[in-house]
């Protein structure tokens, strides 16, 4: 057997014969047994990530009040939400900050509070029209009260994003956390060999319609994520040398587990949002298995100087994920401490939960209905 199909794998899931391992486990299996034997044995590899991603939010529908209102100015727990949709629809962005509390409480906290069953306060006003005469409502709501609630990430699962360092004489406060002055630390946000798009670097199985594990619910890849940079330079293993592709993800907020959704507050920067994502990769052929078997020793990332206030920032060094995870990296003779913003512990939990769901027949694979381009180049604003 040189190839297998989605339907063949799904049939094995239905009959309970499927063999599933995580992306960490596949590395050791291939080292021990070789590509040929492992290909005959393993059908699916699970990948996962859990880290902050500012490009997140939720679409909510509250249902109509009596009399009806067209909500134009909206806050939820004093966090502004978008009123530029239909009468009682809104989008709350994860990084939106509270009017009263600033970035200590933001859109990410609103979404988290809803998922864990807490009441939030909706306040909305409108100018009043013949069909929507009401001009103001103030109402306590829970997630169960809403008609629909969709978590939507315009950008997630960044493929090989930068590690961050600061060479200046002052601390820098960024979306990569606090970067200490004079190369005091390196922060990175990846799960390395578990990271979805590092396991399928050419997007052969991850595309529009791919079924995913999304914070405990079934979700889907909706489209290319924003800043989808697939035409980037790559190394000999096909891994982008810098930030590559991203994914737009959607799922039912009502089915999600609050253990895999977390608001994050970055001092001096603002609010962000972590959500757990697990993506199964079918082992379709040996070429794909070879990609899946790449270890942290052979996955490299750029250490970028975030003290430079320009779109293009200098790369100080390329380091492996194994080096990053070791706790320190040598930068010009100085041992610089490293720390992850993503949670490897949570990612391992997610990869295992997805593995169990597939093994027990609860989760079938979905072949993408549209594959993504490998020739897309990200543009910056015109100067």
What positions carry a catalytic annotation? 131
Distance CA 279, CA 228 (A): 18
Count CB-CB contacts under 10 A for residue 289. Answer: 20
Q: Could you tell me the two tokens for 213?
A: 């594990």
For residues 65 and 284, is the Cβ–Cβ distance under 8 A? no
Strands (E), 182-314: 185-188, 211-214, 217-224, 247-252, 261-266, 270-282, 300-305
Q: 166: cis peptide before it, omega within 30°?
A: no
User: What's the alpha-carbon Rg for the chain, to the nearest Å?
Assistant: 22
- As beta bridge partners, residue 320 has 300
> What is the enclosing helix (H) or strand (E) of 353?
helix 344-359
Distance CA 130, CA 133 (A): 6
Q: Could you tell me the two tokens for 382?
A: 């015109």
Distance CA 363, CA 23 (A): 18
Helix residue ranges per DSSP H, 104-181: 107-115
Question: What's the residue count for the chain?
Answer: 383
Three-state SS for 168?
coil
Distance CA 158, CA 244 (A): 7
> What is the enclosing helix (H) or strand (E) of 174?
strand 172-174
Q: Could you tell me the two tokens for 203?
A: 């997007």
């Amino acid at each position: 057997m040189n190839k297998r199909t989605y339907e063949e794998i799904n049939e094995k899931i239905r009959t309970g014969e499927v063999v599933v391992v995580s992306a960490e486990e596949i590395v050791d299996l291939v080292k021990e047994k070789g590509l040929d034997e492992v290909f005959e044995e393993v059908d699916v590899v699970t990948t996962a990530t859990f880290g902050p991603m500012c490009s997140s939010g939720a679409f909510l529908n509250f249902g109509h009040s009596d009399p009806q209102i067209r909500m134009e100015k909206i806050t939820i727990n004093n966090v502004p939400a978008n009123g530029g949709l239909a009468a009682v629809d809104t989008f709350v962005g994860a990084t939106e900050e509270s009017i009263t509390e600033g970035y200590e409480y933001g859109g990410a906290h609103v979404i988290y509070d809803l998922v864990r069953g807490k009441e939030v306060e909706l306040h909305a006003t409108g100018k009043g029209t013949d069909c929507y005469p009401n001009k103001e409502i103030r109402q306590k709501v829970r997630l169960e009260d809403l008609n629909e609630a969709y978590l939507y990430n315009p950008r997630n699962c960044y493929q090989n994003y930068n590690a961050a360092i600061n060479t200046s004489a002052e601390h820098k406060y960024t979306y990569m956390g606090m970067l200490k002055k004079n190369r005091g630390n390196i922060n990175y946000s990846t799960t390395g060999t578990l990271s979805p798009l590092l396991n399928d670097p050419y997007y052969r199985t991850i595309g529009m319609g791919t079924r995913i594990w999304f914070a405990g619910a079934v979700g889907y890849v909706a489209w290319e994520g924003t800043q989808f940079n697939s035409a980037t330079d790559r190394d000999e293993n096909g891994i982008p040398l810098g930030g590559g592709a991203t994914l737009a993800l959607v799922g039912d907020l009502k089915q999600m587990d609050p253990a895999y959704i977390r608001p994050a507050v970055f001092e001096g920067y603002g609010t962000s949002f972590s959500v757990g994502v697990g993506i199964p990769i079918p082992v379709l052929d040996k070429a794909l298995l070879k990609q899946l078997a790449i270890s942290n020793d052979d996955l490299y990332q750029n250490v970028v100087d975030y003290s430079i206030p320009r779109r293009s920032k200098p790369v100080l060094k390329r380091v492996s994920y194994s080096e990053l995870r070791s706790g320190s990296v040598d930068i010009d003779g100085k041992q610089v401490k490293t720390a992850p913003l993503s949670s490897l512990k949570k990612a391992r939990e997610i990869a295992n939960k997805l593995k169990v769901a597939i093994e027990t027949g609860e989760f079938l694979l979905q072949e993408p209905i549209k594959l993504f381009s490998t020739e897309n180049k990200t543009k910056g604003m015109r100067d």
